[in-house]
Structure 1
Amino acid sequence: MSTIESTIKSLRAIDPSVLSDDDRFRLLDELRATTRRAQSPWDVAWEHAWVDGVTKAAIKTLIDIGIFTKWAESGRMPMTTAQFAELTGADPTLLKRLLRQVAAECLIAEVDKDTYASTPWALRLGTEPSFASIYGTFYHDIVTPAFLSLPFFLGAQDGGFKNPTALTKSNWQRVHGDDSTFFGFVSSDPLRNQHFADAMDCHSKGNFTSWVDLYDTSQIINARLDHPLVVDMGGSKGHDIEKFLQKHPEVPKSCLVLQDLPEVLENFTINEGITVCPHDFFTPQPVKGARVYYFHIVLHDWPDEAAINILKNVRDAMEPGYSKILIHEVLVSDRFPSLTVTSLDLTMMALFSTLERSEEQFNKLIDDVGGLRIAKVWKARQAVESIIEVERI
């Protein structure tokens, strides 16, 4: 057996279901590096210029046709193109061309001539609408236009290519106009707002370790129950508070507060009993003396000056020696940051002219707020995000 054949056999013997997250991430990093070593420069360029774009187009079309939902409902058995056509009413010639593209990307499995088997990815598309919505308005209304525009925005800046920091003169305004803001644009359309919230929910489930698994939440539930326990600031539809409730169902829901802009919250049905408190975090925090003020991927949306103002409003509502701020964010490592982290960092650049921060940058940010100190940074090797626990001095 040749070396290549032996290597391929070893790879096919790997069972991803028995891998820990840590081992899975390590394996993915090594496989990505190996793929790049095996590709020619033309292979890489072909993937970027043709494969990525047409694959997303094929996926979105198949979602709109209803293949994934109907496939899941019918039992997920392998099907021919003709059977898919009968199931969906779509043109079989069109389906064949779309399905073979998705199969060539190993997203579904070709098991016989013109016959395809499902995969965990395909099943999730068919059973979880929030997952499928990532390929909807979140993709084609929000992130893709910003990514396409970014090189032109950076090159057109006064003085040439510079790191952008102006929130109101960002790439976002280049795409959508000088008066547009990201959150105003998202919340102005109910479907877009729902798809953005769904994407953030899936993002927190699929990309990151849940905050209640990363942080010792017993410190929260052992606190006073006559005060709010968790104020989830910028919490969208409340998926992070839901995680807390799932871990601690004994906690009175009245102790949990969900905050976001009124136009964001009005689009969602929130778990009954959770206190919904419309709030703009650039104004004074109305909930005083809570045990925890929680931010999940919020501060990365804002440059330092704005983030400092947000944190000052929380600081002034905190009870010294009792209240904490938990900042649940990506920390950019000094060496070998992962592709997930670097992709998120450039996404922040494209949408807001902001960034993912390093631990050193967070230390400076907290020092510049004044009256606060970092008590601990909660990390896990397999977690992309960390939790920065902040106390009032």
Structure 2
Amino acid sequence: MMDAPHGQISALVSLIANAAKVIEAQYATSCKPVVPSLDDTTPHPFDSDVSPLALKTAIQTLEGACAQLCATVARPGDTILNKCMNIYEPACFEVVLTSNIPDILQETPCGMSILDLGKKTGIDPAKLGRILRYLATKHIFREVTPDVFANNRLSMELLSSNPLSSLAMHFADENNKSAATLTETLSDPDWGHSCAPEHTAFNKWSKYPASLFSWYEGATPEGAKQGARFGVGMLGWGKSVEASSVITGFPWESLGENATVCDVGGGIGTMTMQLAKAHSNLLLKLQDLPERIEQAQNEVWPQECPEAIRDQRIEFKAMNFLTESPIKGCDVYYLKNIIHDWPDNKVVDILRNVRGAMKPCSRVLIHEYVLQRADRVTEGDSPFEQAPEPLLPNYGVGRIRQYALDLDMMVMLNSQERRLEEFVALGEEAGLVFVKLWNFGEMSAAEFRLVRDE
């Protein structure tokens, strides 16, 4: 048995205080130089901008240290019991989102009674009030006066006009219900050790015999509905995890004039459009399955980025990255959130197909979570800068999303997020050599080049 080091509580409190000072100083530099109150429903500029790395790291330190401090000082049974009872949070999310509570509350920003909410939703007012009070106690919504609730800074993210509400419904609906069958799936003598995408907790719950991808592509009316919702939700995901940090965090300008970047499996080109607008030196290629490319070329880009079409800086070409190579001879092959959807053997196939298109100086940039370990190592042995002691070296709760998404991949696809050494090994198997890890504060990018013959 090991006792906590003397002074750990004070050290965690010091980390919290110092992180708070950094956060306040960062907010003071914005055009709205205050940290908004939870009761403030007006968006802050930092809510949509890419956060400065110093602000992002300070917030992660604060989140991790607060959680670790509470876990340290509270009775262990209290902490475990609270975590067990977190199962009610997604259930409450599904209720308020399905009944459009955030949108209804916008009708009366000063607050609406549960009686009026009950009339508008058809839900028993007393039961709805209990659900809203639980969420308000977790700082989502606020109880203005007894049984009168209003939106706050957090619940505004759940408005139907915000893509994050669609993502919240994905987690509260098919994801949460699938996760409930995880034990049953792992203990199945056939499925438990399988990496097949049709042997998942999602399949146990849905009774659907094929992969989540085909479910979302319209195998059933319910699957098509959830797939459309998930597509919208991905916009909210990208904003929340600041995926666009790659636009400023990677040296695109150094590639030179008319450098070519191929977005492999890029969907409608959300990231490619951002590259087009931020880096005029780039010539862009967007590749995905035919229906996504048709949507991008004929609907999305003419509306959202017509200048790239006008200036002939974007090329659209359909492909299946599992069986085909992308456009040959590009300077960068960019894969965002592609690899984590597939088991190792399929990842190697994808990377080999990319390798077949590369020229000697081409780079491959794999942009997604790179999992950090929770054990502290000698400083020079970690690819990431470790959090200051006594905080967990991976920032603990401050960076919990990468581990939550890893479980999401297991539950829904039988795939995974990966550690850097796993990326390196898969790249080597495909004939690529690892060059550098680009850390953007939450997501990262692993850069690879061709293995050069001796």
- Please indicate the TM-score interval, normalised by the length of the shorter structure: 0.7 to 0.9
Distance 2:341 2:422 in 1: 15
1:36 aligned onto 2:66? no
Q: Shift of residue 168 of structure 1?
A: 5.0
Instruction: Please name the residue that 1:149 is paired with.
Output: 181
Residue pair 1:232, 1:293 contacting (<8 A) in 2 also: yes
Q: Shift of residue 387 of structure 1?
A: 0.9
Instruction: Please name the residue that 1:108 is paired with.
Output: 141
Q: Shift of residue 263 of structure 1?
A: 4.8
- Please, which of 324, 328, 340 is the counterpart of residue 300 of structure 1? 340
Could you tell me which amino acid in structure 1 is paired with residue 173 of structure 2? H
- Please, which of 345, 366, 374 is the counterpart of residue 327 of structure 1? 366
1:386 aligned onto 2:444? yes
User: 1:193-212 CA distances to partner (integer Å, 9 max, x unpaired)?
Assistant: 22222232222221244221
1:121 aligned onto 2:178? no
1:375 aligned onto 2:435? yes
Distance 2:123 2:192 in 1: 47
Distance 1:276 1:155 in 2: 45
Q: Shift of residue 258 of structure 1?
A: 2.6
Distance 1:329 1:127 in 2: 27
Inter-CA distance 347–58: structure 2 relative to 1 (3 Å threshold): closer
Inter-CA distance 267–41: structure 2 relative to 1 (3 Å threshold): farther
1:363 aligned onto 2:424? yes
1:239 aligned onto 2:270? yes
Q: Shift of residue 362 of structure 1?
A: 1.4
Residue pair 1:70, 1:88 contacting (<8 A) in 2 also: no
Residue pair 1:170, 1:353 contacting (<8 A) in 2 also: yes
Could you tell me which amino acid in structure 2 is paired with residue 47 of structure 1? N
Q: Shift of residue 310 of structure 1?
A: 0.5
Q: Shift of residue 328 of structure 1?
A: 0.5
Inter-CA distance 117–34: structure 2 relative to 1 (3 Å threshold): farther
Could you tell me which amino acid in structure 1 is paired with residue 183 of structure 2? P
Match of 1:77, SS state, is coil
Could you tell me which amino acid in structure 1 is paired with residue 343 of structure 2? P
Q: Shift of residue 184 of structure 1?
A: 0.9
Instruction: Please name the residue that 2:229 is paired with.
Output: 195
Identity level (%)? 24
What CA RMSD, in Å, does the superposition of the two structures yield over aligned residues? 3.3
Stretches of structure 1 that go unaligned for 5 or more consecutive residues are none
Instruction: Please name the residue that 2:30 is paired with.
Output: none
1:340 aligned onto 2:380? no
- Please, which of 231, 254, 268 is the counterpart of residue 219 of structure 1? 254
Q: Shift of residue 213 of structure 1?
A: 2.6
Inter-CA distance 86–175: structure 2 relative to 1 (3 Å threshold): closer
Match of 2:90, SS state, is helix
Instruction: Please name the residue that 2:381 is paired with.
Output: none
User: 1:14-68 CA distances to partner (integer Å, 9 max, x unpaired)?
Assistant: 6967381111111111111233335445544543444x33332333222233231
Could you tell me which amino acid in structure 2 is paired with residue 234 of structure 1? G
Distance 2:267 2:228 in 1: 10
Higher RCO by CA contacts (8 Å cutoff, separation 6 or greater): 2
Q: Shift of residue 127 of structure 1?
A: 6.1
Further displaced range: 350-359 or 270-279: 270-279
Stretches of structure 2 that go unaligned for 5 or more consecutive residues are 1-8, 28-34, 36-54, 303-308, 376-392
Give aligned pairs, total.
Answer: 369
